[in-house]
Structure formats: structure tokens, C-alpha cells
Amino acid sequence: MSRLLYENSVSYKGYLIIPFVFGKLDNYEIYSYKLLSEVGHTSQFHKAENPAGIYGSNVSNIIDIAKEHIDKNSEFVSRKDNFKSRYISRNNLIIISQEGDKYFYDHYPPELLNNIAAPKLFQSEYECLSWIKQGLNGEHVRQRAI
């Protein structure tokens, strides 16, 4: 699988649709997608790869296919957008979330949907993004316990 095209991801009814190039046929790219669910593992489609089983000829086509599948098969509909604060840095997906006055993040690498975020809380979205940027730049150094 090629890298996930986070920069073309679309938030839709509680899901994040993430396209990727599935393969090539006669120099034409064939697109597929993966889903993240705002309700996490309680959704049958969280981290699912192309549950519709239909592939597309371009990014907008595969997004439409995913939306249609969500419309017909979703077990919930969300009116809020938990994926609105998402950022792409060095092909990594960063999703910032807030609960009360605390912020935290999910961090997904370019090739798979495994959250590699550190369990850390922040006072602001800016503080959270600064921490992530430092980590991606290799600025966090592990400290030894004395």
C-alpha cells in the first residue's frame, strides 16, 4: 500500500475518509480508502479499509464512494466534527481533540492507521501543536531516571 493521502482526507458524519493509491493498472492509479471513526473501536468501520469494496479512478470519486457507503451503512450520525482540528506534517496525520479545558492528540504515521501519540495532556491547542512539532523534529530527548 502507498502512503495514506491525509492531505485529501474528508470529515463526513463522524468519520474521516482517508484515500490512498491502491495500485496501478496500465499507468492509471486505482484509489481506495480507509476510515477513522470519532467513536473509535465502538464503530465497526473504525480503521476499516474500503468497507464498500468499490475502488475509484481518482480521489474525488473514492470520497464519493465512501460517503455513499457511510450514508447507507453507518451505525451513527454525528453532527459535530471531531476531525476539524487536523494537521498534516511530514505526511503524518495529527488530530487535536479537546475535553473540557484539556487538549490531547492522535498521531498517525504515513502508511498505517496506528495511533502513535504519547499519552499527554496540554493546556492549549498551541501547546499541543508545539509539542508535536518538536517531536517530529526529533527535539524530545528521553531522560534517564536517576
Residue 80 has pLDDT above 50, yes or no: yes
Select from 44, 73, 102 the last residue of a domain: 73
Residue 1 lies in a domain: no
Give the mean pLDDT of 91-106. 93
Give pTM, 2 decimals.
0.87
61 within domain boundaries = yes
State which of 73, 101, 129 marks the end of a domain: 73
Secondary structure (3-state) at 88: strand
Q: What is the pLDDT of residues 2-56, one digit of tens each?
A: 799 999 999 999 999 999 999 999 989 999 999 999 988 788 899 999 999 999 9
64 vs 81 pLDDT, higher one: 64
Residues 6+ apart with CB under 8 A from 98: 125
Whether 61 and 95 share a structural domain: no
How many domains does the chain fold into? 2
Are 63 and 12 within one domain? Answer: yes
Residues 69 and 90 in one domain: no
User: If residue 133 lies in a helix (H) or strand (E), which one and from where to where?
Assistant: helix 125-136
Residue 113's domain comprises 86-144
3-class SS string, 17-74: EEEEEEEEECCEEEEEEEEEECCHHHCCCCCCECCCCCCECCHHHHHHHHHHHHHHHC
The fraction of the chain above a pLDDT of 90, given in percent, is 68
Domain assignment of residue 127, yes or no: yes
Q: Could you tell me if 67 and 94 lie in one domain? A: no
How many residues are recorded in the chain? 146
CA 123 vs. chain centroid, Å, equals 23
Q: What's the confidence (pLDDT) of residue 109?
A: 94
Q: Are residues 63 and 120 in the same domain?
A: no
Q: Are residues 63 and 99 in the same domain?
A: no
* Residue 79 counted as domain residue: no
Q: Are 9 and 18 in contact (CB under 8 A)?
A: yes
Residue 40 within a domain: yes
pLDDT for 31-42, tens place per residue? 999 999 998 878
Q: Looking at the predicted structure, is the pLDDT value of residue 99 above 70?
A: yes
In a domain, 81, yes or no: no
105 bridge partner residues: 96
Do 60 and 18 share a structural domain?
Answer: yes
The Cα diameter of the chain in Å comes to 60
**pLDDT at position 87 over 60:** yes
Average of per-residue pLDDT values in the chain: 89
pLDDT attached to residue 40: 82
Final residue before a domain boundary, out of 38, 73, 108: 73
Statement to judge: residues 91 and 132 lie in one domain: yes
